[in-house]
Amino acid sequence: MPTFIRTTNDELMFDFMGSEAENCLKSSTIIFNTFNEFENEVLESIIATKFPNIYTIGPLPLLVNHIPAESESKPLGSSLWKEDSNCLDWLDKRGLNSVVYINYGSVTVMTDTHLREFAWGLANSKQPFLWIIRPDVVMEPCKRINGIARLLGTVRSQD
């Protein structure tokens, strides 16, 4: 993980994830929460380098679709955050493989400066993008970036 993207000031989660990654190197098999078509190049590289025994079982949130509606487990979800599906209509109108997807996950935080730099890079790419930003991803208050969007609110494409 780049040094400018860290989890907390005390780095507890960062150290834990690093330790777990090292533990994976000792295993005979690794299971990934992804699917082959999404990260095929990376998965092939892992297989070629060290781990012939890898399995993809994701994305795990889709497994909830196989739980019977009457099950007590049905209301359970994998997200730690309230999901917002407003972007799906916009995304459905885009061509296959035409949108850049960005999501830092549920534990990463960064500085306002680095978030702005990343935002300008995306804007300057002139590519449509879907950027999932948690309200707490910035370690300090985030201000408006003139001409782009409020980063802590809904970001809409202008095409």
User: CA 52 to CA 44: how far, in whole Å?
Assistant: 9
pLDDT band at 48 (very low <50, low <70, confident <90, very high): confident
Contacts for 88-93 with beta carbons within 8 Å, 24 or more apart? Answer: 90/130, 90/156, 90/157, 91/130
pLDDT band at 135 (very low <50, low <70, confident <90, very high): confident
What pLDDT does 120 receive?
A: 92
What does the domain layout of the chain look like in residue ranges? 1-78, 80-159
What pLDDT does 78 receive?
A: 59
What pLDDT does 110 receive?
A: 82
Q: Is residue 17 pLDDT above 60, yes or no? A: yes
Tell me the CATH number for domain 80-159: 3.40.50.2000
- Could you report the per-residue pLDDT of 76-88, keeping only the tens digit for each? 665 666 777 788 8
What pLDDT does 39 receive?
A: 87
Mean pLDDT of the chain: 74
Sequence-ordered alpha helix ranges (H) in the chain: 12-24, 36-49, 87-92, 112-125
User: CA 123 to CA 159: how far, in whole Å?
Assistant: 12
- Could you report the per-residue pLDDT of 88-118, keeping only the tens digit for each? 888 899 999 899 888 877 677 788 888 889 8
Query: Residues 34-53, buried b or exposed e (16+ Cβ, 10 A)?
Result: beeeeeeeebeeeeeeeeee
